[in-house]
């Protein structure tokens, strides 16, 4: 049950935020200072921030709906959020940037990676791939 609740939350966050950024990529300029200087850059923001995040949300949803996808979804979340957390922490330390946005993202990513790892240890995480 804990795994489904976790994946449901991840679905909501990743899919919702991803779709929002597909249609409102300029939002990143407001909250994170990510500015597209060319049409190609705007398409890149839509793809990497919007499409990739929406895809992760759909994978989390698959982990809820199809038990054989639970473990792959948790593994993907572990590696994705772990990678984001590690690179963001490195960058923040390197530049001394601990803005509200950065701290919020670090909290979300670190917690998500930790919970993914813990849930993978439960028998309910699905059969080994």
pLDDT in tens, 60-78: 999 999 999 999 999 999 9
What was the pLDDT predicted at 127? 52
Q: Which residues in the chain show pLDDT less than 50?
A: 126, 128-129
What was the pLDDT predicted at 113? 98
- d(CA 117, CA 111) in angstroms, rounded, equals 10
Report the predicted TM-score, pTM, of the whole model to 2 decimal places. Answer: 0.88
Q: If 0-12 CB within 10 Å is exposed, 13-18 middle and 19+ buried, where does residue 124 land?
A: exposed
Q: How far is CA 51 from CA 63, 78, 110, in A?
A: 18, 19, 22
What was the pLDDT predicted at 129? 42
What was the pLDDT predicted at 123? 82
Structure tokens at 19: 């779709």
* CB 13, CB 111: distance < 8 Å: no
């Amino acid at each position: 049950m804990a795994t489904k609740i976790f994946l449901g939350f991840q679905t909501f966050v990743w899919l919702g935020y991803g779709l929002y950024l597909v249609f409102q990529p300029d939002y990143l300029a407001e909250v994170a200072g990510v500015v597209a200087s060319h049409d190609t850059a705007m398409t890149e923001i839509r793809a990497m921030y919007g499409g990739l995040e929406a895809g992760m949300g759909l994978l989390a949803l698959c982990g809820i709906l199809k038990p054989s996808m639970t473990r792959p979804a948790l593994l993907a979340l572990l590696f994705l959020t772990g990678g984001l957390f590690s690179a963001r922490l490195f960058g923040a330390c390197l530049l001394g940037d601990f803005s509200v946005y950065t701290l919020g993202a670090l909290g979300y990513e670190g917690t998500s990676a930790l919970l993914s790892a813990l849930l993978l240890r439960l028998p309910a995480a699905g059969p080994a791939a």
